[in-house]
Amino acid sequence: MTNKTPLVELRNMSIAFGGVRAVDDVSVDLYAGEVVGLLGHNGAGKSTLIKMLSGAYGADSGEIFINGEKAKIRNPRDARRYNIETIYQTLALADNLDAASNLFLGRELVTSLGFVDDDAMEAEMRKIMTRLNPNFQKFHEPVSALSGGQRQSVAIARAVYFDAKILIMDEPTAALGPQETQMVSELIKKLKAEGIGIFLISHDIHDVMTLCDRASVMKNGKLVGTVDVDTVTDDELLSMIILGKHPHQKEA
Amino acid sequence: MSTPTTNRSAKTFFNKLGIDLRLLGMIGALVILCVMFDLITGGRFLTPRNLFNLSVQTASVAVMATGMVFVIVTRNIDLSVGSMLGFIGMTVGALQVYYFPDIVGLGHWSIWILASIAAIIMGACLGAVQGWVVGYLTVPAFIVTLGGLLIYRGAMWWVTQGQTVAPLDPTFRLLGGGADGTLGETLSWGGGVVSSLVAVGLILASRRRKANHGFTVKPMWAEGILIALAAGLVLGYVYIMNSYTIAKGALPRIAEARGIELTEGLTLYHGVAIPVIILLVVTIGMTLISTRTRFGRYVYATGGNPEAAELSGINTRMLTVKVFALMGALTGIAAIIASARLGAVDVGLGTLDELRVIAAAVIGGTALAGGFGTIYGAVIGALIMQTLQSGMASVGVDAPLQSIVVGLVLVFAVYIDIVYRRKTGA
Ligand SMILES: Nc1ncnc2c1ncn2[C@@H]1O[C@H](COP(=O)(O)OP(=O)(O)O)[C@@H](O)[C@H]1O
Ligand SMILES: [Mg+2]
């Protein structure tokens, strides 16, 4: 790997819910312009791990470094200040609001008088949607009226609109059709080329092998290991997920 | 019988106007109630006098209902508003009768201002404390405000050891309406014309803004109908209020207050009552807050999905404090109207108002599950409730049966709302 300082470094992160050690002493890092895949079965702790980076959960222990400096991320507002944007697995949309209100939630555009400028926000929403999902038309309906794919594209729009430097994508293509999935893949490549660091949580081994530079595998809250995707086969990656065994054994 | 085609074209007609089915239903219900009571009473219901009283009686509950919309939208409830209204009314009554006169002098012009400010601040503080317990200590709002209901009613008694406070400051009493507490004829017309023009201006400005962004706008005829409706409603109301004559006995007093020479055969008319003006200002202000401010946006976002709101960086706990504080401030305004209207405060003031307020918000389309509700809906809801109650009283329905009918209507209205939501998927 490079010897530059990583964009993000999560060191020895742990968190427990009641008796469940959802994430147990996990360390991962991410460089600018890099895509790191997070893999593992359901319940392995992937979402919980990235929620500590996005400010949704406070870690029980562990440290976060951004550009080599210790970062204090206590809530989602802190994370946004570090230019961390997140597409949550649950999408985290306010179902009763329309697409533009969700895109700008917490960061509304306002008029010179300080009033929310819905028309300007809708115009921006339309602009970004011509890039992400040209078929999208339901700008005036609450997002509860949208299909799964449309909702996902709203969540993606929210993450890419605000000049993220660090992007977290928790199963961003779960509800998408093949065509839309392809579009997200193109988007990831483009953002990567712009120098953005991306954590990509996915169940699709093929996606991970083609899009990611490295992959970190988790099982039962623990880190199995991190590998360069070029140095492993699909099967080796699969056995890491299923058996929790590191193929090269050197780090385990 | 309407065929499916006419049904559909009627639907697109109202769609183009931007009026939804719920609003139409509420207005329909209101019109039916009014016509029905008018028929039964042989034309004694839809009179200027009765409509004047109806709008004045609605004001206090409607003001609180606009705040209750935010409370319910954020998935909370406030059971304390009736008692809080009584507590504030009693405190502010005692201030202006026993306390302020000692400081600024009896009958001083500033008493009504001091009393009003005190009422609003007191409400905001009481509300903020409740909101803090709900938001930060995470005690359910139902319990916190049920506690408030008991506490404020008890505290109200302590203020004067249960004694009625009277008479309130004469200027303060104008805020409650009555023959003196109106704008008078000229001002009413002036205000009506100005607010119609403002409404027209806002509709056209919004149209221009949308067109500038290249969005499709409503057809011009639809805009024209909306403008005609808005202006017609305002001016029609002013016209009716301006045809309600002032009784002979009150003539000399009112003529003097308005600076008109008292001559033989002089007739004066009421005009729009001050509490109705207060309600109008509150309604416009709350509508602005709910649709055009970040705070309003966060209220709805939090009601729709609290977790998503939190993840978007919204401080939902602080938001809860603000929502309850706003509810309290509006309760303070309602306390001013209610106590000023009666001219005196007894320990029963505001009793059961919390239920009227919640019913108004809910009949107006506020969903108890959170996330949905409009300010105008709550005001219309309050108007429907008051119409029902005044109507039944004028028809001669006795009090117990009135309660039964209001209770049934409330449950039925919420059932209709549930069916409507299921159908529209909202
Ligand atoms: N808020 C929470 N409260 C309690 N348990 C939780 C919470 N969030 C996650 N968990 C538990 O933590 C473990 C990891 O969950 P998660 O991070 O969602 O896994 P993944 O995203 O890898 O599928 C699971 O056992 C889950 O039940
Ligand atoms: Mg997950």
Q: Do A119 and B312 touch (CB under 8 A)?
A: no
Domain shared by A108 and A157, yes or no: yes
In the A/B pair of chains, how many CB contacts fall below 8 A?
Answer: 85
Distance, CA of B89 to CA of B209 (rounded, Å)? 44
Distance, CA of B184 to CA of B278 (rounded, Å)? 15
Confidence (pLDDT) at B218: 84
- Which range (A109-123, B13-27, B94-108, B369-383) has the least confidence? B13-27
- B274-286 per-residue burial string, b: 16 or more CB within 10 A, e: under 16: bbbbbbbebbeeb
Domain shared by A137 and A211, yes or no: no
Distance, CA of B372 to CA of B72 (rounded, Å)? 9
Give A218 or B420, the one with higher predicted confidence.
Answer: A218
Domain final position from A121, A147, A164: A164
CA of B253 to the centre of ligand 1 (A): 74
Domain shared by A21 and A138, yes or no: no
- Chain B nearest C-alpha distance from A64 (Å): 19
Q: Give the residue-averaged pLDDT of B137-161.
A: 97
CA of A195 to the centre of ligand 2 (A): 26
Task: Examine residue A247 and state whether it is found in any structural domain, yes or no.
Answer: yes
What does pLDDT average to over chain B? 92
Residues of chain A falling short of pLDDT 70: 1-3, 249-252
- For residue A170, what are its two tokens? 């928790």
**What interface predicted TM-score (ipTM) does this complex get?**
0.92
- Is some CB atom of chain A closer than 8 A to the CB atom of B15? no
Q: Give the residue-averaged pLDDT of B210-225.
A: 87
Domain shared by A8 and A76, yes or no: yes
Ligand 1 mutation pick, A13, A17, A220, max ligand atoms within 8 A of CB: A17
Task: Find the residues whose C-beta lies inside 6 A of ligand 1.
Answer: A 17, 20, 22, 40, 42-48
- Is some CB atom of chain A closer than 8 A to the CB atom of B311? yes
Q: Check if the beta carbon of residue B134 is closer than 8 Å to that of residue B126.
A: no
Counted domains in chain A = 2
Confidence (pLDDT) at B3: 45
Q: Give the residue-averaged pLDDT of B246-254.
A: 89
Task: Examine residue A209 and state whether it is found in any structural domain, yes or no.
Answer: yes
In which element (H, E) is residue A30 found? strand A20-30
Q: Hey, whose CA ends up nearest to atom 1 of ligand 1? A: A17
Report helix, strand or coil for A175. coil
- Is some CB atom of chain A closer than 8 A to the CB atom of B209? yes
Ligand 1 mutation pick, A10, A13, A15, A20, max ligand atoms within 8 A of CB: A20
Q: What share of chain B has pLDDT > 90, as a percent?
A: 73
- Chain A nearest C-alpha distance from B145 (Å): 27
Count the Cβ atoms, other than its own, within 10 Å of residue A26. 23
Closest chain B residue to the Cα of A74, Cα to Cα: B313
Q: Give the residue-averaged pLDDT of B267-292.
A: 96
Q: Hey, whose CA ends up nearest to atom 24 of ligand 1? A: A43
Query: For residue A28, what is the domain's CATH number?
Result: 3.40.50.300
Domain shared by A1 and A73, yes or no: yes
- What is the dihedral angle through the alpha carbons of B290, B294, B300, B304, rounded to the nearest 10 degrees? 170
- Chain A nearest C-alpha distance from B199 (Å): 18
**Diameter of chain A measured on Cα atoms:** 62
Q: Do B307 and A92 touch (CB under 8 A)?
A: yes
CA of B187 to the centre of ligand 1 (A): 64
- Is some CB atom of chain B closer than 8 A to the CB atom of A82? no
Q: How far is CA B50 from CA A164, B41, B106, B194, in A?
A: 61, 12, 35, 25
Distance, CA of B54 to CA of A151 (rounded, Å)? 46
Q: Which pTM was predicted?
A: 0.93
Ligand nearest to the CA of A51: 1
The pLDDT tens digits for B182-208 are 999 999 999 999 999 999 998 899 889
- Which strands form A8-17's sheet, in the order they lie side by side? A20-30, A8-17, A61-66, A69-71
Q: For chain B, what are the domain ranges?
A: 19-178+273-424, 181-272
Closest ligand 1 atom number to CA of residue A44: 22
Closest chain B residue to the Cα of A123, Cα to Cα: B213
Q: Which domain holds residue A58?
A: 1-83+190-252
Angle formed by the axes of helices B111-135 and B81-94, nearest 10°: 150
Confidence (pLDDT) at A252: 39
Q: Do B304 and A122 touch (CB under 8 A)?
A: no
Confidence (pLDDT) at B7: 60
Confidence (pLDDT) at B1: 40
- Is some CB atom of chain B closer than 8 A to the CB atom of A114? yes
